[in-house]
């Protein structure tokens, strides 16, 4: 008798998990209040009282700064916009190099290209999937000006070592904490250790405003420069009486009053929602670590984890079964949103062909850039090996991952592992 669903046996998880929804009645009431006010935005792209936005935007920024223990918070319409503003704010020049990870959303790297900078990738740690500080330092050159550090999948990168490197080489550090809101690193919130940090508020994150983001810093100058870049800075910088006008060009990265009102309510729920993900991820770690051939995510001693993604590794040689077959068996049992691999940004056509602006290879091929940066396959062996052969992700923010749901997922894993011989026969 076949036991596995992939062979026609009964499924472990019969029902579909409800989609994760962090929106409640308080958000609906907050939106209604804004709608009735008739003031959906109050930004003006010129220097004056409304340059910094309307009352809800300002209230949201103040609440975020207070909650995360920073001096300044700057709202934006997406973290993509926020990263662009952050890279511009630190003052990079065309052809400056900025180091980041190949394992992140593409916007982390393209925010560098927006300013005609050169993205340089460093390899990752195979246990945490975050940037490997040793690889970061190996990639520092005389052109390096900054490091963008993704706090990937829900926990902080090794900022202690990365900040040491930054101090040694006089580099700025921007944290992309899109996936790690409310996790802790050395008793501080992830995203608040670097010179600038950024958080995403789009729909599949722990909390969301539909689209949106928030940048944080303790540096007044960086905050003001991000505010200018956010809101048509070239039209407003004269009124602000600033002299450093480099990179102050016209973008509209403004957040509306409706999104800010939603964000204020979502922020109140962030501790509870992030704790729920931590508990679900911890249960998966505890139970799946008992299965041979699985390597659960490594959690740093000085970090907490909020599990935007539960990422683990499969050892095909130990199991005698391909990663693809394992994933197909788990999907057949009803495990939702489980995928192989993650990302290798350096292998995207943009970097392989070195074509960004126009068709002639700018900014890489230019009289202003005489160095060389490597993107060819084989340059970042850990990131490539994990993506191609070992890494598997459970998309934790697609569902609530209640205790019942988490137990069902564990049950499905255990069923597959208890019947590996049957699965081996299936894969022959």
The one-digit pLDDT tens for each residue of the chain (428 residues) are 579 999 999 999 999 999 999 999 999 999 999 999 999 999 999 999 899 999 999 999 999 999 999 999 999 999 999 999 999 999 999 999 999 999 999 999 999 999 999 999 999 999 999 999 999 999 999 999 999 999 999 999 999 999 999 999 999 999 999 999 999 999 999 999 999 999 999 999 999 999 999 999 999 999 999 999 999 999 999 888 888 899 999 899 999 999 999 999 999 999 999 999 999 999 999 999 999 999 999 998 899 999 999 999 999 999 999 999 999 999 999 999 999 999 999 999 999 999 999 999 999 999 899 888 999 999 999 999 999 999 999 999 999 999 999 999 999 999 999 999 999 887 55
Domain extents in the chain: 5-18+269-342+384-427, 25-266
Compute the half-sphere exposure of residue 360: CA atoms within 13 Å on the CB side of its CA: 5
- CB contact at 8 A, 181 and 208: no
CATH fold label, 5-18+269-342+384-427: 3.90.1150
Indicate the DSSP class of residue 335. Answer: -
- CB contact at 8 A, 355 and 361: yes
How many whole angstroms separate alpha carbon 307 and alpha carbon 206? 9
Per-residue pLDDT, 428: 54
Instruction: Say what the alpha-carbon torsion angle 16, 27, 268, 213 is, to the nearest 10 degrees.
Output: 80
Q: Look at residue 310 and give its three-state secondary structure.
A: strand
CATH architecture of 25-266: 3-Layer(aba) Sandwich (3.40)
Per-residue pLDDT, 1: 53
Question: Which of 277, 272, 266 lies closest to 200 in space, CA to CA?
Answer: 266
Indicate the DSSP class of residue 255. Answer: P
- CB contact at 8 A, 144 and 98: yes
Per-residue pLDDT, 8: 93
Question: Dihedral sign, CA of 384, 386, 390, 396?
Answer: negative
- The CA angle 404-307-261, to the nearest 5 degrees, is 95
- CB contact at 8 A, 408 and 13: yes
How many whole angstroms separate alpha carbon 373 and alpha carbon 35? 50
Question: Which of 288, 334, 336, 286 lies closest to 312 in space, CA to CA?
Answer: 288
Q: In degrees rounded to 5, what are phi and psi of residue 270?
A: -55, -45
Radius of gyration of the chain (CA): 23
Separation of first and last alpha carbons in the chain? 18
């Amino acid at each position: 008798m076949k036991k596995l669903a992939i062979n026609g046996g009964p499924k472990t998880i019969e029902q579909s998990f409800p989609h994760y929804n962090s929106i409640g009645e308080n958000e609906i009431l907050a939106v209604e209040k804004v709608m009735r006010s008739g003031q959906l935005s109050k930004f003006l792209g010129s220097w004056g009282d409304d340059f910094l936005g309307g009352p809800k935007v300002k209230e949201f920024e103040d609440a975020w700064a207070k909650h995360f223990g920073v001096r300044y918070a700057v709202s934006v319409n997406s973290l993509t916009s926020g990263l662009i503003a952050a890279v511009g704010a630190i003052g990079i020049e065309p052809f400056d190099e900025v180091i980041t990870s190949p394992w992140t959303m593409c916007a982390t790297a393209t925010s560098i290209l927006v300013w005609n900078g050169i993205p340089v990738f460093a390899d990752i740690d195979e246990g945490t999937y975050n940037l490997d500080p040793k690889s970061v330092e190996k990639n520092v050159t005389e052109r390096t000006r900054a490091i963008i550090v993704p706090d990937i999948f829900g926990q902080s990168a090794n900022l202690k070592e990365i900040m040491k490197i930054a101090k040694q080489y006089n580099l700025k550090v921007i944290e992309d904490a899109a996936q790690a809101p409310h996790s802790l690193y050395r008793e501080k919130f992830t995203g608040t250790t670097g010179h600038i940090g950024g958080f995403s508020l789009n729909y599949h994150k722990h909390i969301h405003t539909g689209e949106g983001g928030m940048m944080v810093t303790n540096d007044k100058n960086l905050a003001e420069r991000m505010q200018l870049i956010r809101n048509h800075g070239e039209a407003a910088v004269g009124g602000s009486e600033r002299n450093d006008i480099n990179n102050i060009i016209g973008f509209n990265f403004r957040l509306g009053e409706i999104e800010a009102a939603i964000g204020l309510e979502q922020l109140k729920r962030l501790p509870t929602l992030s704790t729920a993900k931590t508990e679900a991820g911890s249960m998966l770690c505890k139970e799946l670590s008992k299965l041979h051939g699985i390597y659960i995510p490594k959690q740093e001693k000085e970090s907490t984890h909020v599990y935007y993604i539960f990422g683990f590794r499969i050892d095909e040689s130990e199991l005698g079964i391909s990663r693809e077959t394992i994933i197909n068996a788990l999907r057949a049992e009803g495990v939702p949103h489980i995928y192989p691999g993650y990302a290798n940004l350096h292998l995207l056509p943009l970097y392989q062909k070195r074509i960004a602006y126009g068709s002639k290879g700018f900014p890489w091929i230019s009289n202003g850039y005489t160095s060389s940066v490597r993107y060819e396959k084989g340059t970042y062996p850990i990131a490539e090996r994990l993506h191609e052969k070992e890494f598997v992700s459970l998309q934790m923010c697609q569902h609530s991952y209640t205790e019942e749901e988490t137990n069902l997922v564990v049950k499905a894993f255990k069923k597959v592992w208890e019947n590996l011989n049957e699965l081996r026969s299936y894969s022959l």
